Chain A
Amino acid sequence: MNKIISAFVIGIIFGIGLTIAQMVNPAKVLSFLDLAGNWDPSLAFVMGGGAGVAAIGYRLVLRRPRPILADAFQVPTRTDLDARLIIGGGLFGIGWGIAGLCPGPALAVLALGRSEAMIFVLAMVTGFALFALYDRVRMKSQ
């Protein structure tokens, strides 16, 4: 098995998880974000279940000297807080609150052929590209 096959299979498991958790349904996500309305706390259980399994699993996996199919673990090490982190999180949250879609579920619903998802993903990829452009301009000006 190589890194490409493992990534594909893991992507499928991720997509099945999003489907079972109903995160692919924007109405469900928005009812979680609607604290003052008919609040549905389900999504807290998705994040809790995910982070719980990852907390235990990462602890076991990171005891290994290296991953099975790659040379080294690539785990973020930064601990500083900067404006980009908070502004980026804030902009993302506004978009999430408007449409009820974040990147994983937006990609997972693509194959279901809904035009709303296709429009959203096209705009999201444009947003990725605008960031790449912004980052390049900033790097040059420094």
Chain B
Amino acid sequence: MENFTPISALIGGMLIGLSAVLLMLLNGRVAGVSGIAGGLIVPVAGDWPWRLAFVLGLIAGPLVYIALGGQLPDIQFPVATPLGLISAGLLVGFGTRLGGGCTSGHGVCGVSRLSVRSLVATGAFMFAGFATVYIIRHLMGA
């Protein structure tokens, strides 16, 4: 557990929670990234500009953090093969839309409202994530 960083994790998590609250207060929307970004695939007139703005803000976030004097964390991709990245990306894209949410929409926003669907979905993706890493690292030894 030498990489355990509870303080920065808590501060970062609280900022994510703050953005979820602000998006509800101002725009009346749930801060679910897969839903916001996925809703751009079939754009609806009048509904897509705020989605695009949110995604662009998200992309700009780390750059703003650097501009404010923040230090980027080390970024490593343990799985960096095209096959691994493409299969993972397809599963994340299709799966989050089929399940109606991801770590933010279900895991933070839905769980905070004690939504039964979000609690079940969060259990499903956490379990699948734990199982996948166990299989890849400890059974296949990759």
Contacts and interface: CB of A to CB of B under 8 A. Distances in A.
Interface of A: 1, 3-28, 30-31, 33-55, 57-58, 61-62, 64, 66-76, 78-81, 84-104, 106-112, 114, 116-117, 119-132, 134-135
B16 A49 contact: yes
B53 interface: yes
B91 A48 contact: no
Interface residues of B, number: 112
A88 B21 contact: no
B113 A13 contact: no
A69 B87 contact: no
A46 B50 CA distance: 25
Contacts of A117: 77
B99 A15 contact: no
A94 B134 CA distance: 11
A38 B66 CA distance: 30
Nearest to B25: A61
Interface string B103-142: 1101111111101110011111111111111101110000
A17 to B, nearest CB: 3
